[in-house]
């Protein structure tokens, strides 16, 4: 059976505010290659992990007001990535729409479920206990996922089911999200997967 031909599912985003300057290019049909520089090492690690296991290609650079704190940089990277995902999906014709994934990392286990529905709804429960992971505050780990869901117009549920180490809990969550995204963006048909006829 031949694969369904689709236009390139790519997007380029330039987002500039008084707080950050983000440049991003995304290819949904990539191989997991990334070049990411946000100025926050743990955020780079999580986004690299996400892209690797989603099999996207991503180039992302951000210059943010890290002298203030990590909030604006992490939030705007999540927004830019979500906008790129939305743009690359276009009218969302032919996509599976739904995806789910479980990912363990040693003692930690996370679950992610996504619906590329066009209706944003983030429900993120990572249960992180530390104040920071590297230079990324744990509240911003959650906020990256929330921002991505809102900007990509997706219903996203992520929960860490168990785990002792916050690094493992956060990384398992991003890996589970990657697996869910890879399923949801897959081309599985020729129509829009909705009784409404639009997503």
* Assigned domain for 192 exists: no
* Assigned domain for 140 exists: yes
Note down the domain range covering 34: 10-185
* Assigned domain for 199 exists: no
Judge whether 34 and 57 are in contact, CB under 8 Å. yes
Distance CA 30, CA 55 (A): 6
Distance CA 149, CA 163 (A): 24
Q: How many domains does the chain have?
A: 1
* Assigned domain for 41 exists: yes
What does the chain come to in residues?
A: 199
* Assigned domain for 125 exists: yes
Q: Computed from CA positions of residues 14, 71, 104, 98, in that sequence, does the dihedral angle turn out positive or negative?
A: negative
Per-residue confidence in pLDDT tens, the chain, 199 aa: 445 556 799 999 999 999 999 999 999 999 999 999 999 999 999 999 999 999 999 999 999 999 999 999 999 999 999 999 999 999 999 999 999 999 999 999 999 999 999 999 999 999 999 999 999 999 999 999 999 999 999 999 999 999 999 999 999 999 999 999 999 999 999 999 999 999 9
- Nearest one of 96, 129, 124, 127 to 112, comparing CA atoms: 124
Give the CATH number, domain containing residue 142: 3.30.230.40
Distance CA 80, CA 121 (A): 17
User: How far apart, in Å, do the first and last CA atoms of the chain sit?
Assistant: 27
* Assigned domain for 52 exists: yes
Mapping DSSP to helix (H, G, I), strand (E, B) and coil, where does residue 12 land?
strand
Distance CA 70, CA 38 (A): 10
* Assigned domain for 59 exists: yes
Judge whether 98 and 157 are in contact, CB under 8 Å. no
* Assigned domain for 3 exists: no
What's 19-66 look like in SS3?
CEEEEEEEECCCCCCEEEECCCHHHHHHHHHHHHHHCCEEEEEEEECC
Distance CA 65, CA 104 (A): 34
Quick one: pLDDT at residue 6?
Answer: 64
- Nearest one of 199, 182, 193, 190 to 28, comparing CA atoms: 182
Q: Find the DSSP H helices in the chain.
A: 41-54, 71-89, 138-152, 166-185
Distance CA 74, CA 142 (A): 10
């Amino acid at each position: 059976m031949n694969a369904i031909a689709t236009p390139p599912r790519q997007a380029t985003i330039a987002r500039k505010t008084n707080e950050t300057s983000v440049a991003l290019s995304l290819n949904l049909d990539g191989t997991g290659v990334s070049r990411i520089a946000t100025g926050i090492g743990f955020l780079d690690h999580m986004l690299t992990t996400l892209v690797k296991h989603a099999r996207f290609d991503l180039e992302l650079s951000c210059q943010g007001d890290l002298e203030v704190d990590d909030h604006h940089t992490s939030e705007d990277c999540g927004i830019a990535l979500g906008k790129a995902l939305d743009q690359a999906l276009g009218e969302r014709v032919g996509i599976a729409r739904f995806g789910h994934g479980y990912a363990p990392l040693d003692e930690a286990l996370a679950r992610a479920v996504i619906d590329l529905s066009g209706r944003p709804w983030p429900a993120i429960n990572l249960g992180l206990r530390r104040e920071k992971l590297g230079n990324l505050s744990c509240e911003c780990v959650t906020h990256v996922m929330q921002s991505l869901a809102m900007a990509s117009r997706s219903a996203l549920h992520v929960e860490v089911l168990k785990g002792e180490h916050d690094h493992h809990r956060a990384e398992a969550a991003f890996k589970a999200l990657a697996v869910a995204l890879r399923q949801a963006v897959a081309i599985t048909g020729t129509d829009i997967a909705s009784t409404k006829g639009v997503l």
